């Protein structure tokens, strides 16, 4: 199993190298976001191809990961088309000049590829699990499908909102965004906890590192914390949105007057 995992890591690094070379030609490392779900897909495919036996669990998990990865990579690519380098990467570039073009291979691409490899571990755990289908498998599939659908709908709603010039500078607080400030991240959270449930059907507790890492990334690193670092300055209405709406887990919207009274 370790050999298969390391072979997958090598393939993921090769994809990261290709993405880095594209970033050099464009002088824009934003392509790293598109590459992220593809790293995990490459890892999952490598696990499946190296498996001695392929059962329904392997087919289901790899199919779910493929649908999630292709959808997300396509969405990110479409969202970034015609735009300059993402402000997050601009900030990293500024902090690491001179020669960021070369440093970015390790600071951005190798780092993200390694994290994606860890996130892919439940897929490996599911592939090597030859036990009969378990109720945890069914529960995990339901959670993955629900999470991926939630994420896709949230992304679509936000893209539709931003496509209307009349909404420029406004805060998206409709649809799924009414009850969570980051419903797309919540959907992603569900995807990886769902895949972990499938891995858990084979008592592969070690795969827990994947959803835990993803949760930390979504809440404290590249997700909620980073997105909201300065958004209140760029969009004044966002402060009121924060007062009324949970950051991550969807919940009933709070009344602003009640929030102000309680504080």
Q: Output the pLDDT for position 251.
A: 92
Residues of the chain whose pLDDT is less than 70? Answer: 232-233, 256-263
Q: Output the pLDDT for position 231.
A: 76
| Alpha-carbon distances, residue 1 vs 5, 116, 129 (angstroms) | 6, 18, 11
Give me 244's structure tokens.
Answer: 């009324």
Q: Output the pLDDT for position 229.
A: 77
Tokens 């600071």 sit on residue:
107
In the chain, where the domains are located? 1-130, 133-263
Tokens 């569900």 sit on residue:
190
Burial 113-125 (b: 16+ CB within 10 A, else e): bebbbbbbbbbbb
Q: Output the pLDDT for position 203.
A: 87
Interval 210-223: pLDDT, tens: 999 999 999 998 88
First to last CA, the chain: 53
């Amino acid at each position: 199993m370790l050999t298969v995992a390391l072979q997958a890591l090598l393939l993921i690094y090769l994809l990261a190298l290709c993405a880095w070379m594209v970033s050099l030609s464009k002088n824009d490392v934003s392509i790293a976001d598109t590459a992220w779900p593809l790293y995990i897909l490459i890892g999952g495919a490598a696990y499946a191809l190296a498996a001695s036996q392929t059962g329904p669990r392997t087919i289901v998990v790899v199919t779910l990961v493929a649908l999630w990865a292709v959808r997300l990579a396509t969405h990110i690519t479409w969202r970034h088309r015609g735009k300059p380098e993402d402000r997050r990467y601009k900030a990293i570039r500024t902090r690491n000049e001179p020669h960021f073009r070369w440093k970015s291979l390790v600071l951005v691409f190798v780092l993200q590829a390694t994290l994606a490899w860890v996130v892919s571990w439940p897929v490996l755990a599911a592939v090597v699990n030859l036990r009969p289908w378990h109720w945890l498998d069914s529960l995990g599939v339901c959670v993955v499908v629900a999470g991926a659908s939630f994420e896709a709908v949230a992304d679509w709603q936000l893209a539709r909102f931003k496509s209307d010039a009349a909404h420029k500078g406004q805060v998206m607080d409709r649809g799924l965004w009414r009850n969570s400030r980051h419903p797309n991240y919540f959907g992603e959270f569900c995807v990886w906890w769902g895949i972990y449930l499938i891995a858990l059907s084979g008592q592969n507790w070690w795969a827990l590192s994947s959803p835990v890492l993803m949760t930390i990334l979504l809440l404290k690193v590249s997700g909620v914390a980073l997105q909201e670092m300065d958004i209140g300055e760029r969009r004044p209405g966002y402060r009121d949105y924060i007062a009324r709406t949970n950051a991550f887990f969807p919940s009933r919207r709070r009344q602003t007057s009640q929030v102000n009274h309680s504080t």
